[in-house]
């Protein structure tokens, strides 16, 4: 089992990465003195795969285990589903000495984390991510949220887990589309922080697409290393952490305009990254060769890179509600070549995106 640390003082926690099932989970919960009453929040897809396995493992270790099962999909990441989680927590008699385990992908992790952040003003939670996207990105860093019809992740809280337990073997049950959705976030780390990692991805397209264990494990570990460093430096996204949103401002607009769940988050981020790279080229912060290199890698993984045909006005309105808007000015993340990043202020986003989107 590999261990990485997210250094946040007295709220620091470990990311544990293993290829060997869920062995070690109970020991980690005991080490961090996680509450004895545990509620596993999962969804209808993950439940038959791992729900009974994890519940039995924890029960055998002396934990009092309950389950809350929600529907699967981004379209259910909303206030209504969140309220059903609150209702079940109350019905189960949970108190401040209870804990939540998020077992599933990014939607489950975000909702369970936000429920933990707000139920009784905060109870402990642990992430057990089961998708590529959740393992490399959303489970680490304490961003929890639900969507609103007018924008993605607009309602949420920064609330750190007590631990993140990553079983890479769970990725073997994913379909190709969901694997790709996570790979987009992996590519983001290479573009933003590490050209060597970006080059490694260029050389390992086929192993990653075929779910090669070693390739996936390295991609997960390196992504978590990079994110842990950023979160430790800027937990609440006041400065450097904002660059983790590369591709997300436009990508979130794609998701919202398309209808949540129609375009998967990673698919939208892939489109958004290429839009951002073209903005960077327009601002002369990267070269044609950098944009071409990113385009080739995205297309090698099978991503659609053309934005859906919504109007410029619709895109601008959706991005105008983005969390990175300050004083009416859109703060936008761009790459500087491959391996570096920058936050820029777009005072006239209409002219910028008119040029980029044609």
Binding site listing: 72-77, 106-110, 130-131, 143, 152, 170-173, 185, 248, 265
Cβ atoms of 229 and 6 within 8 Å: the answer is: no
Q: Beta strand 143-148 with 151-158: parallel, antiparallel or unpaired?
A: antiparallel
Q: Does the annotation count 296 as an active-site position?
A: no
Q: Does the annotation count 97 as an active-site position?
A: no
Q: Does the annotation count 293 as an active-site position?
A: no
Is residue 128 classed exposed, middle or buried when 0-12, 13-18 and 19+ CB atoms within 10 A define those classes?
Answer: buried
Active-site pick, 241, 267, 323, 335: 241
Is residue 309 classed exposed, middle or buried when 0-12, 13-18 and 19+ CB atoms within 10 A define those classes?
Answer: exposed
Residue stretches of the annotated binding site for Zn(2+): 185, 248, 265
Residue 198, token pair as written in the block = 């970006």
Cβ atoms of 123 and 88 within 8 Å: the answer is: no
Q: Does the annotation count 241 as an active-site position?
A: yes
Active-site pick, 88, 188, 221, 248: 248
Instruction: For CA atoms 233, 235, 241, 246, give the dihedral sign.
Output: positive
Q: Does the annotation count 177 as an active-site position?
A: no
Q: Does the annotation count 204 as an active-site position?
A: no
Active-site pick, 188, 227, 293, 323: 227
C-alpha neighbours within 13 Å on the C-beta side of residue 256? 26
Cα–Cα distance for residue pair 189/48, rounded to 1 Å:
32
Active-site pick, 43, 88, 143, 323: 143
Q: Does the annotation count 245 as an active-site position?
A: yes
Tell me the H-state helices in 6-151: 25-31, 52-60, 79-91, 106-118, 132-133
Active-site pick, 43, 147, 178, 245: 245
Cα–Cα distance for residue pair 263/337, rounded to 1 Å:
27
Active-site pick, 28, 66, 185, 235: 185
Cβ atoms of 257 and 308 within 8 Å: the answer is: yes
Active-site pick, 221, 222, 252, 323: 252
Q: Does the annotation count 324 as an active-site position?
A: no
Cα dihedral 50/179/278/305 (nearest 10): -120
Q: Does the annotation count 323 as an active-site position?
A: no
Q: Across the strands, what pairs with 145?
A: 156
Segment 55-64 long-range contacts (CB within 8 Å, at least 24 positions apart): 57/22, 57/25, 57/26, 58/25, 58/26, 58/29, 60/26, 61/26, 61/29, 61/30, 62/36, 63/26, 63/29, 63/36, 63/37, 63/38, 64/36, 64/37, 64/38
Q: Does the annotation count 248 as an active-site position?
A: yes
Residue stretches of the annotated binding site for NAD(+): 72-77, 106-110, 130-131, 143, 152, 170-173
Could you give the residue numbers annotated as active site?
Answer: 121, 143, 185, 227, 237, 241, 245, 248, 252, 265
């Amino acid at each position: 089992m590999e261990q990485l640390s997210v250094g946040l003082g007295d709220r620091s926690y470990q990311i544990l990465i293993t290829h060997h099932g869920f062995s070690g989970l109970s020991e980690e919960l005991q080490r961090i003195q996680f509450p004895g009453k545990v509620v596993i929040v999962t969804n209808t897809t993950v439940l038959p795969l791992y729900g009974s396995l994890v519940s039995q493992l924890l029960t055998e270790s002396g934990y009092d285990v309950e389950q809350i099962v929600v529907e699967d999909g981004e379209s259910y990441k909303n206030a209504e589903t969140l309220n059903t989680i609150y209702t079940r927590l109350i019905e189960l008699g949970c108190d401040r000495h209870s804990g939540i385990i998020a077992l599933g992908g990014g939607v489950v992790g975000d909702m369970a984390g936000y429920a933990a952040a707000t139920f009784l003003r905060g109870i402990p939670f642990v992430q057990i991510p089961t998708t590529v996207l959740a393992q490399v990105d959303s489970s680490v860093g304490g961003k929890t949220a639900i969507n609103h019809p007018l924008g993605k992740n607009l309602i949420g809280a920064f609330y750190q887990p007590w631990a993140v337990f990553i079983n890479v073997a769970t990725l073997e049950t994913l379909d190709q589309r969901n694997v790709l959705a996570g790979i987009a976030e992996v590519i983001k780390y290479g573009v933003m922080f590490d050209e060597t990692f970006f080059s490694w991805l260029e050389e390992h397209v086929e192993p990653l697409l075929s779910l090669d264990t070693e390739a996936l494990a390295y991609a997960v570990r390196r992504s978590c290393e990079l994110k842990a460093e950023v979160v430790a430096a800027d937990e609440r996204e006041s400065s450097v952490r904002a660059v983790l949103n590369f591709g997300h401002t436009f990508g979130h607009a794609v998701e919202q305009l398309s209808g949540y769940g129609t375009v998967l988050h990673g698919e939208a981020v892939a489109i958004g990254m290429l839009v951002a790279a073209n903005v960077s080229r327009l601002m002369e912060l990267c070269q044609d060769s950098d944009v071409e290199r990113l385009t080739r890698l995205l297309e090698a993984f099978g991503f659609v890179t053309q934005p859906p045909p919504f109007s410029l006005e619709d895109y601008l309105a959706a991005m105008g509600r983005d969390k990175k808007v300050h004083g009416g000015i859109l703060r936008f993340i761009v790459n500087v070549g491959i391996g570096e990043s920058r936050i820029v202020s777009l005072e006239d986003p209409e002219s910028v995106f008119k040029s980029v989107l044609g």
